[in-house]
Amino acid sequence: MQDTPTNAYAARRARLMDAIGEDAVAIFVSGDEKLRSRDTDYRYRAHSDVLYLTGFEEPEAILVIAPGHDEGATTLFVRPRDKERETWTGRRAGPEGAVADFGADTAHPLEELDDKLPDLMRGREVLYVELGRDAAFDARIHRLLGGLRRAKNRPPEAPTVLKDPREVLHAMRKVKGEEELALLRRSCEIAAEAHLAAMKACKPGMHEYELQALIEYVFARNGASFPAYSSIVGGGDNATILHYTTNRDLLRDGDLVLIDAGCEFNYYASDITRTFPVSGSFTPAQRDLYQAVLEAEEAAIAMCTVGSSWWDIHQATVRTLTQAMIDLKLLKGSLDELIEEEAYKAFYMHKTGHWLGMDVHDVGPYYDGEDYAKLSPGEVQTIEPGIYVSVDAEDVPDEMRGIGIRIEDDVLTTEDGPVVLTGGVPKSVEALEDVVGSGYSFTV
Ligand SMILES: [Mn+2]
């Protein structure tokens, strides 16, 4: 997390403390490593809540925020330094490093959690903890709470109210600070460069995985340590599978290829989709469908202004796309009836976008029980309409079967209107026909 200033983490913790108050204590868990196969783990990535509040990247860490506590409000429980383990699996900050480099007031080795956590909860009314993610951790919390409740000859000391910390913290995470926007912008720039590289390199006879490799090479070369999600490279009718990640097929002349890929740069995700002809020129049917999706995308981006409702943007996009489906003979009937019956869902079955931040499908509410979320300055969301015509769709023009198109950009809402963070990658028909297959050479 070298690119986020230490005082930004302190400021985030201070806002959280203000929100929960001195009667409360909050616990956040970074998560364990996960076995991938036999004795090999998936590459570790800490929970975004812990990263957001501390920048601490190691597995198994537990962060406790107890506002006003005698020994300081921020406590980290972390893996201890261990010369032998560190020789095998990498450096550890240890409790000393947690204090020196990650803003903890106090830090302890993990093995002291059962001993020390009750002291941090004692006398506070509300315990904020996310239950239901890790059964072993849930059981541990219940056991420690039970111990506090059984304490004799003292006033009641255990928290009596359990709350989910996500409501407070995720509302904070939804609105990005300047230091976060700088990282998000860079993440988007890198992903845009990767998509452009794939367009330039693409030619018939390549495999989907070759474009995937090139995209992920550009991510890594720019210091983005992970793809933000499994890269999707779908040629031909693979593009009609929304989360196709097999990426094993040949890319054929006459087909489109849909690429949905973004990187994670300093823990901030980008998320871009482009669809373009493998050979560099659209067929008339491909062009018609593409143009319809592009117009819907541009109209939706223009709606990303302060106060716009997330749901209204989706509804407007549904309307635009349904009209296009009528015009292109994918659907028959009246616009209002087709929307009412949700007939468009045969070809457009997902929502128009999602929040973007440390997680690709970022946190923060879409609906508060009464109203859909309205956009505020500093929020970033994707806009990603699509049309997907499956090969076995009924009553559709033959030349449209097996075509899947999605166009996705990442959009920041500001007082001055929408800012497209992923504008560095072409999307007009003319620009794509120009750039696809124009050649890409590695510079190392
Ligand atoms: Mn997306």
**CATH number of the CATH domain containing 212:** 3.90.230.10
Q: Looking at the structure, do residues 277 and 299 belong to the same domain, yes or no?
A: yes
Residue 341: the pLDDT is 98
CA distance linking residue 170 with residue 12, whole number of Å: 12
Average pLDDT of the residues in 187-205: 98
Calculate how far, in angstroms, residue 301's C-alpha sits from the geometric centre of ligand 1. Answer: 14
Answer whether residue 441 is part of any domain.
Answer: no
Calculate how far, in angstroms, residue 331's C-alpha sits from the geometric centre of ligand 1. Answer: 26
**Domain holding 155: CATH number?**
3.40.350.10
Calculate how far, in angstroms, residue 104's C-alpha sits from the geometric centre of ligand 1. Answer: 35
Q: Looking at the structure, do residues 110 and 57 belong to the same domain, yes or no?
A: yes
Residue 153: the pLDDT is 60
Using 50, 70 and 90 to split pLDDT, how confident is the model at 437? very high
For residue 398, the 8-state DSSP code is G
Helix boundaries (H) for 328-398: 335-340
Residue 155: the pLDDT is 65
Alpha carbon distances (Å) from 72 to 50, 51, 75, 308, 421: 18, 19, 7, 41, 39
CA distance linking residue 28 with residue 117, whole number of Å: 12
Q: Looking at the structure, do residues 100 and 188 belong to the same domain, yes or no?
A: no
Residue 149: the pLDDT is 87
Q: Looking at the structure, do residues 121 and 189 belong to the same domain, yes or no?
A: no
pLDDT tens, position by position, 121-140: 999 999 999 999 999 999 99
Q: Looking at the structure, do residues 272 and 361 belong to the same domain, yes or no?
A: yes
Burial 207-233 (b: 16+ CB within 10 A, else e): ebebbbbbbbebbeebebeebbbebbb
Residue where a domain stops, chosen among 157, 172, 187: 172
Instruction: Name the token pair of 412.
Output: 């920041």
CA distance linking residue 27 with residue 22, whole number of Å: 14
Q: Find, among 224, 225, 226, 8, the residue nearest to 102 by Cα.
A: 8
Average pLDDT of the residues in 385-399: 96
Q: Looking at the structure, do residues 296 and 410 belong to the same domain, yes or no?
A: yes
Range of the domain at 65: 6-172
SS3 126: strand
Q: How many domains does the chain have?
A: 2
Q: Looking at the structure, do residues 128 and 209 belong to the same domain, yes or no?
A: no
User: Please, what is the average pLDDT of the chain?
Assistant: 96
Residue where a domain stops, chosen among 172, 199, 228: 172
Residue where a domain stops, chosen among 156, 172, 188: 172
Calculate how far, in angstroms, residue 406's C-alpha sits from the geometric centre of ligand 1. Answer: 10
CA distance linking residue 383 with residue 381, whole number of Å: 7
Residues assigned a catalytic role:
39, 243, 260, 271, 350, 354, 361, 384, 388, 406, 408
